[in-house]
Structure 1
Amino acid sequence: MPLVINTNVASLNSQRQLMNSGNALDRATERLSSGQRINSAKDDAAGLAISNRMTSQIRGLDQAIRNANDGVSLIQTAEGALQETTNILQRMRELSIQSANGIYSDADRATLDAEVQQLILELDRIAKSTSFNGQKLLDGSLGKVQLQVGSDANQTIELKVQAMDAKTLGMGSVSVDVLGAEFSLSLFSSTAGADIRDGDVLINGQSIGEFDSAATAETNTMAEFLVIMNERLSGVTASALTQLKGSQLGSGVIDNDAGQGLDITVASLNGATQTYQIRENTTSMEQLIETIGRITGGTVRAEVNDQGVLSLSNNTGATISVAAAGGLDLQSTVGMAASVGDGLSQRGQIVLTSDDDKPIKITRGNTGTLSDLHNLGFRENQGGGVIEGAGITTAAAETAWGVGDLTINGTVISNKNTDSLIGKVNAINAATNETGVTANAFSTVTIDLTRVDVGTAFAAAAGANVLTMNGVNLDFSLVTTTQGLVDAFNGASNLTGVRATLLGNSVVLESDQGAIRFATNTLADIFSGTGDAGFEGAIFNEFMADGTNVVTTVTSGFAASLVAALRVEAGIKLTSANGNPISVELGDNATAAEIGLLEANSTAGGAFGTAIASISIDTAAKAQKAIGVIDKALTTINDTRSQLGAINNRLDFTMSNLANVSEKTSASRSRIVDADFAAETAALSRAQVLQQAAQAMLAQSNARPEQVLQLLR
C-alpha cells in the first residue's frame, strides 16, 4: 500500500459514510417529527401519487357525508311543512263533507266556506314561505336538487319537490293513465266525431286504427272503435266515460202517485241495454239524485253542476238515454230533452291505462294532425308544464270569452275583446302573474306527400317560380327526395321561424311564433289532387295561419288542389314558468272549439284538472266536487312525502356507506404515508451511532497523512 498525502482515500470514504448516516439521521428525524413516511416526492414518488388520490377521495367522501346531511335537513324541513299542509287539507275535507249534508242552509255553507277560503290562503302561505338555506321548497321554484353524495363527478341523488300551492294541488297527473278531454257523442250510435285514418294517431308508436263517422262504416260507434283500439294496442288498455247533460235547471219532483216516472236506459259497449225505472216520489233534485244512484246500483252517477244542471254519467263507456213515463215533463223535472240536440248533450271521454306502469305517449303519425288528436280528446305529448291547445278556426277565434268560460290554474280568464287568436293569447298573458302561465300562438301546416311529386314539383318552384315562406325565398332547385324537402325548409328556419319534420307520409311545418305564410306563382304546379276547399278568406295564390286570420287560403282556381295536399291548423300553446302542471277548466257554456284549449277533467265533476284554489263549498254540489279535489291533493302529498321519506332513508344508508368507505380508504392511505415509529426510532438510533462512528473514523483518517512525516526525519 503506497503512502501518499495528496489524496486521502480513507478520509473521503469516511466523509461519504458520514454524509450517508447524516441523511439517514435527517430522514428518520423528519419522519418522526412529521409522523409521515412520505414527506416529499423523493421519499416515494408512486406512493405520493397514490396517497394524493386517496386524499382526494377521503376528503370528497367526508364532504359528501356533509352534503347528504344537508339533504336530510332539507327533506325534514319540507316534510314538516307538508305535515301541516296535510292537516289543513284534512280540515278542509271535514268541512266539505259537513257542507255536503242536505240539512244546511246557504248561510251555513257560506260560513263553512269562509273557513275553507282562509285555509286555502294559509296553504298557499306555507308553500310560498317554507325555505331552506334561502331556497323556497314548496312553491315549485326549487326544481331538481342534485345531492352530491360521492367523491367523483355525477355521483348524485336527485331530489324533486313539486309545487304544493293551492293552484297545483288537486290537479292529478297524466303521466301513466291518460284521460282525454270531452268530445261530442251521438246519443244512439255513440259516434266519436270526425274521420281518423289508419296511422293518423299513434299511442306509444302504435296506430289506434281507423274511424269513419259515416253511418254505414264498420267503425262508426265508440264501442266498435274501442274494440279496434284494444286489438291494436299493446301495453295500453282503452276504455271510455260517457255523460248525458241537460241544459236547464230541473225541479227533481216526480209525482209517482199520479203515475209519473223516469226511465234511464244504459246501452253497454257489447250492445246490451238495461233500463232502470224510477217509480218513487221525489220532492227535490237532491232526492232524485240519491234515488237514481240507489236504483241503478251506482251504474249511473247523477249530480248537478255549479249552475244546478243535472248530468248522468258512467265509467264503463256505455251510452245513457232518458225517457218520461206517465206524463212526466222531462225539461221541467230533470232539465233534459228526450233526444240529443237542443236541451241535451251527449259527451264522452277515452281513458288510456298503462298495463306496465310506463308513460303513455300520444303523437301524430303519417298525415295525422293535431285536430285528429283533439277529435278524440287527446293532446300530443309535450314537455313538462306545456299544453298545446286544440286547433281553432277563424270563426271560433273571433268568439269572445265570457266570465267563467276559461279558468287556468284557478284564475278566471275573461276579456270581451278576445275577437282573434292573438286577442285570446293576450288575455291569457295578462293574467300571467296570477297563473304562472304564458301563452303564444302556434301554427302547423301538414303537406301530404302522397299528393306531391317531390322530385319535380318543388324543384319547379325555383328561379322565376319562387315559393316564399314568411317572406323568405326558398330554394327547392336541388330537392329530389322527401328528406331533401325537409332539409330545404329547415335550411331557412332561422329566418322563417318554421321547423320541418318528416312524419310518415307527410312533412309537418310548425311555428311557435304563431305564423306560417306561403306565397307562390305556381301553386297548381306544386300540389295535385282534388278535395273540398273548406277555408275562409280569399288571397290570390297565398295562404296563411297566423295570430289574426287563423286560416286564409287560395281560392282562385287552386283551392281544391291545395287543400287536398295541405292541412293547416293554428291554436294556443301554454307554458308554465316553473314546469308545473297546468290546470285548464272550461265553463259549462264554453267549448274547446271556441276557447282553443282542451279541458282535462273527468266526466261528471271528477277532480282531475281542478286545483285546490278553485274549490268552494258554498253549495252542496260544490262541496261534493271539493271532496274529490281534496282527496287528489292528499294523494299527491302522500306520494310526495313517501318519496321524501324513501330518499331520507336512502341517504341514511348512503352516509353509512360513505363513512365506511372513508374509514377503509383512510386506513389504506395510512399504510402508505404514515411513519412506523418503531421502525423509525430504530433507524434513528442506528443513524446516530453511525454518525458518531463516522465522525471518529473521519478524524483518524484525516490524521493518517501525518505518518508520512516519519519518513522525512
Structure 2
Amino acid sequence: MKIGNSLSISLSNRLLETSKAINKSLTRLSTGSRLTRPGDDIASFSQAVQLDAKARGMRQASLNLNAGLGFFQTADAALANQLELVQSIRDLAVDALNSELTSSQREGLQLSLNSLMESFNQIVQSTSFDGKKLLDGSLKSLDFTLDHKGNLGELQLQKSRAQDNFVLEVGTGKLEQIATSSSTLVDGAPNELLLDVTGDGNLDLITISQNEVRISKGNGIGGFAAPESINLGGGADGYHVEAADLTGNGALDLVVYSQTAGTDYFAILENDGTGSFTLTSSFAGPSGLESDSFVLVDVNGNGQKDLVSLASGGDLQLRLGNGDGTFQAATTISTGMGGGLTKIKAADLNGNGLVDLAILQADTNVTTFSGDGSGGFTSTATLTNGDASDFLLADIKGNGHLDIVILGGDSFEIFQNDGTGGFGSTQEVVGAADFESVNFIDFNRNGMNDLIFRMSDGSLALYENKSGSFSLKSSLEGDFLHGLLVGDLKGDGFSEIVAFNDMGEFVSFRLETETIAALDRLQLSSVEAAQRVVEIADNAIANLTEKITKNSFQVGRLERWSNHADGVASVVEEARQSLLEADIAFETAELVRLQILQEAQVATLSQINLNAQLVLELFKLS
C-alpha cells in the first residue's frame, strides 16, 4: 500500500492562502484602503494615480489664484486712497470758486493741491506686490494657472498714474460744421448777438435784416429754430442791436439803432421773459451810426443800464437809464478825438470796478477812457494803428487784465494791459489776408484766450495763444462775409462758432475735441481756473471709480476661478477616495468567513496529520 502526504500539503497550501487573505483583509480594514499595492487592482490603481495628480494640480492652481488676489487687493486699496485724494483736490477747487479770495489765499490753496498731487504720485510709485509695481503701467497684465493642465487665464491691471486720471476734453483746433439755416437772417453788415433771451438755458441768435429784428431760438444742439421777426416799422433800416435787462424783470430787452426816412432813432423792445418782444418806445438818436456804435452799461453804479453812444464830431452821448425801459435825455461828452469814431466798447480796464470805454477812430487809433463812476470819462491811453478797422477787448495773458487786439489790414496788433489801464508790450501778427472781424475762444481750455478771425477772403482763421504769443492753428475756407459769434450752443462746456455766408445764412461750427492729460491745468489762480480744476477732478473721480470697478471685477474673477479649482479638486479627491476606499462591511464579513475557513482548515489539517500518524504507528506494531 502506498502512503503519501499530498492531501496534507494541499491543505497546508490552502491554509497559507487563507492566512494571506486574512492578513490582506486586516490591512484593508486597518488602512481603510481597498488597494494595498498596485497588484491588487492595476486598472483602479492607475486611475487613482491620475485622479490624485489632477486633484493636486487643482489645489496648486487654487493656491496660485489666491496668491494673485494679493496683487489686486493691494491695487484696490491704493486706488481707494487715490480716490480720497482726488476728492480732497476737488474740495480745494470748490473753495477756490469764491471770487472774494485774495491772491495769498489762492496761493495757500494751490500749495495744498500740490501737496495732494505729490501724495497721489507717491502712491503710484510705492504701490507694489511681490516686487512688482502695480499702478505705474509697467505691469500690464498677470497670467494665472487655472487648472491641473496648466491652462492660463490673463487679468488686466489698471494703471493709475496722474496723467491717466486727471484729464480734460479740449478742442484740437479743427472746425466741423454742425448746422446751417435755410433762411436769410442778416442783410448788409449790422451786428449780431448770441445770448439767451428765452430763459431756457439755450443761446439764441439775434440778427437784423433791414426793418426787422429776427430772433432765432437755440435748439440746444448747435442750431436754431426758424426766426421770429419783430418789425421796426415801414422803411426802417436797422444797424445795431444791444441787449440788457432794462426793466429789472431778469429778462434781456433789446435796443436797436435804426434809420427811417433820414431820421435816426433808438427803438426799445421789451422782453416778457419768454423771448417774446414788444416795441414799447423809440427816441431820436445821433446820426450816421453803424454797427458797434453804442453800449448798454451801468456808468454810475445805480444798478440801471445806461446808453452810451457815439455821436457826430467826435463826441459821446450819455442817456441814463430809468430802470423801466426808458432813458433820460442825452448829455454830451467830448472825447477830444475829432471825427471818424466808428466803434465803442465798455469794460473795466484798470481794475477799479468802474466802467471804462475804448473807442476806435478808423484808420488811426483806439483810445481808452477811464470812468469816474458818475458818468464822467477821462482819456487815459491812445493806441496807434494806422490801419485800424476793428478791435477786441480780451484777456490775452491770462492775468485777469483786459488787453486790446486791434485789426489793421493784413495784421493784428496786441496791446497788453498792465492792470492799471496802461498799455504796452505790443505784438504784431501778419496773416495771409486782411482781418475783418475777431472774437476770442479758449479752444484748448488752457485758460488762455485764443483768437478766431473772419478774413477778407471769406475764410475763418484760428490763432492759438501760447503764453501771449500767437500762431495760426487752423483755417477754414468759405464765404463767411458777416458776423463772428462765439458761445456754448450745446450746453456742454465747449464753445461753438457762428458766422454768416454771403446769403445772410448762419453756419455754426464746433471744434473737434480730444482728451488730454491736464496736469498743467491744476491751477487755482482764478475762478475760471478753479472751475476747470473741478471738471478735471470730476473726470479723475470718474476714471478712478471705473478702475476700482474693473479691479473689483478682476478680484471677483480670481475668487471664482479659485473656488472652481477648489471645487474640482474636492470632487476629484472624493472620486479617488471612493475608488480606493475599502468596503468595511464587506471586508468585515469576508474576514469572519476567512477566519472560520482558517479554523476549519486547521482542524482538518490536524485530523489528516493525526490519521497519518496512526497509520505509521500500526506499521510499527506489525
Q: TM-score, normalised by structure 2?
A: 0.46
Q: Relative contact order, CA 8 A, sep 6+: which one is greater?
A: 1
Which is richer in helix?
1
